[in-house]
């Protein structure tokens, strides 16, 4: 911002100490960028942020998906909205994850799952006004997370391990024997399904079945979709909403990956990794400003430059900025009529070269 502005870097650094309602701002951008379509879901995911030094708050060891290992740095939890029909995502809010020592110091067995739930609880009312569905990867398929998430009014869509132990849900018929009612049927053998409990689902690249199952780990009935790809094996997707169509379960989970593209664009083009501040307020402002910039870029691209990618759009706008700044500093006033063709060629140079 200091590079592309008339103000110096110090001014922005001081302004980053101020608070700002990023959720409200990004929500307004989301409605403009994604529209009012009903098939939306709240996507949550954590992302590793490279950071050097020892004095940065919450610096510690976190999982890096790119490196497939634990690295020293920072982590943020991103909350975004994915649109199933547009296959796009816009981020609403980012929050920095405390390190393990900070979580332990809070006592009462406070862990990473509890902190993720605290973040969702903080913005619960505004998120529920958009949708009640939360989509996340398999790490969040824990009973401690799911039970508290359901208590807030949300439903979770995620996937399970291929070797998960599940049972067919009980049909409710009483046996006439004494004791409590039976809660589950026979155990599901994924290599030999009981088709009387399955509903076939037409999917590309294999076959799939929709099953109402009982999970002992979650202590509840869930709706699962078992997908058998042509390459072999199987994948298990599930939803805590028993009335949700099986096709929606697969589409919601697969569209979840759009949130990863938001992190990618923010790291490559809007400086998500660049802030070297050592203040929680400044770091929070920098992370959210970076993600909000990606949202703004998506709206500009969709409305004016639909043929450009985010990277080409940044180069295109940078060319415009540099060209205008050269003219402003030189004091020249070129004839727009005579130079219109040359200017268009200069602005479109990056897009043509790519």
Domain boundaries, the chain: 1-136+256-304, 160-244, 310-353
Show the beta-strand stretches assigned E in 230-288. Answer: 235-239
From the list 61, 97, 51, the residue with the least C-alpha distance to 78 is 97
Q: Tens digit of pLDDT for each residue in 266-303?
A: 999 998 998 888 899 999 999 999 999 999 999 998 88
354 confidence band (pLDDT: 50, 70, 90): very low
Question: What number is the average pLDDT over the span 97-123?
Answer: 89
Over 70: is that where the pLDDT of 15 sits? yes
Pairing state of beta strands 206-215 and 198-201?
antiparallel
The rounded distance, in Å, linking the Cα atoms of 115 and 136 is 15
**Helix (H) or strand (E) segment spanning residue 89:** strand 88-96
CA–CA gap between residue 283 and residue 203 (Å, rounded) = 44
For residue 353, what pLDDT is reported? Answer: 45
The two structure tokens encoding residue 151: 């208590």
For residue 308, pLDDT over 50 is answered with: yes
Residue 351: pLDDT band with limits 50, 70, 90: low
Rounded to an integer, what distance in angstroms lies between the CA atom of residue 14 and that of residue 55? 19
Going by pLDDT thresholds of 50, 70 and 90, the confidence category of residue 175 is: low
The residue among 53 and 25 whose pLDDT is bigger is: 25
Query: What is the predicted pLDDT for the residue at 321?
Result: 81
Number of helices (H), then strands (E), belonging to the chain: the values are: 12, 12
Categorize the per-residue pLDDT at 154 as very low, low, confident or very high, splitting at 50, 70 and 90.
very high
Distance CA 351, CA 348 (A): 5
What phi and psi, each to the nearest 5 degrees, are found at residue 42?
-90, 115
User: Which residue in 123, 88, 93 sits closest to 25, CA to CA?
Assistant: 93
User: 280 with 261: CB under 8 angstroms?
Assistant: no
pLDDT at position 69:
92
List, for residues 213-240, the tens digit of each pLDDT value: 999 888 899 999 999 998 889 999 999 9
Mean pLDDT (whole number) for 191-218: 91
pLDDT digits (tens, 9 = 90+) for 53-109: 888 999 999 999 888 899 999 999 999 999 998 899 999 999 999 998 898 887 776
pLDDT digits (tens, 9 = 90+) for 309-324: 888 888 878 877 887 7
Tokens 């700044």 correspond to what residue?
325
Count Cβ atoms within 10 A of the Cβ of residue 340 and give its class: 0-12 exposed, 13-18 middle, 19 or more buried: exposed
Contacts 24+ apart (CB under 8 A), 308-316: 308/351, 310/265, 310/269, 311/268, 311/269, 312/350, 312/351, 312/354, 314/269, 315/350, 315/351, 316/347, 316/348, 316/350, 316/351
Mean of the per-residue pLDDT values for the chain?
88
Confidence of residue 118 (pLDDT cuts 50, 70, 90): very high
d(CA 173, CA 328) in angstroms, rounded, equals: 81
Task: Give residue 329's pLDDT.
Answer: 79
């Amino acid at each position: 911002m200091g590079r592309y502005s008339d103000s110096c870097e110090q001014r922005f650094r001081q302004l980053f100490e101020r608070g700002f309602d990023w959720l409200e701002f990004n929500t307004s951008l989301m409605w403009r960028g994604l529209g009012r379509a009903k098939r939306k879901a709240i996507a949550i995911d954590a992302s590793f942020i490279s950071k050097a030094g020892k004095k940065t708050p919450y610096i510690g060891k976190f999982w890096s998906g790119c490196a497939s290992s634990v690295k020293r740095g920072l982590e943020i939890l991103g909350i975004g909205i994915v649109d199933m029909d547009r296959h796009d995502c816009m981020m609403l809010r980012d929050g920095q994850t405390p390190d393990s020592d900070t979580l332990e110091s809070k006592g009462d067995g406070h862990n990473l799952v509890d902190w993720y739930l605290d973040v969702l609880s903080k913005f619960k009312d505004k998120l529920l006004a958009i949708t009640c569905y939360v989509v996340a990867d398999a790490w969040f398929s824990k009973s401690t997370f799911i039970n508290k998430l359901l208590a807030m009014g949300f439903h979770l869509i995620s996937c399970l391990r291929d070797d998960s132990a599940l049972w067919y849900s009980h049909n409710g018929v009483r046996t006439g024997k004494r004791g409590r009612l039976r809660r589950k049927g026979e155990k599901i053998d994924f290599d030999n399904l009981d088709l009387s409990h399955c509903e076939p689902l037409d999917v590309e690249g294999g076959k799939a079945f929709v099953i109402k199952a009982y999970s002992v780990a979650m202590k509840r009935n869930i709706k699962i979709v078992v997908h058998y790809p042509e390459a072999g094996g199987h994948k298990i997707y599930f939803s805590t909403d028993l009335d949700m169509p099986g096709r929606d379960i697969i589409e919601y989970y697969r569209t979840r990956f759009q949130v990863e593209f938001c992190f990618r664009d923010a790291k490559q083009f809007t400086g998500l990794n660049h802030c070297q501040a050592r203040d929680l307020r400044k770091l929070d402002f920098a992370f959210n400003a970076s993600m909000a910039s990606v949202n703004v870029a998506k709206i500009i691209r969709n409305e004016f430059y639909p043929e450009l990618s985010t990277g080409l759009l940044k180069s295109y706008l940078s060319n415009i900025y540099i060209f205008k700044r050269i003219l402003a500093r030189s004091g020249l006033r070129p004839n727009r009529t005579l130079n219109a063709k040359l200017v268009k060629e200069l602005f479109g140079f990056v897009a043509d070269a790519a």
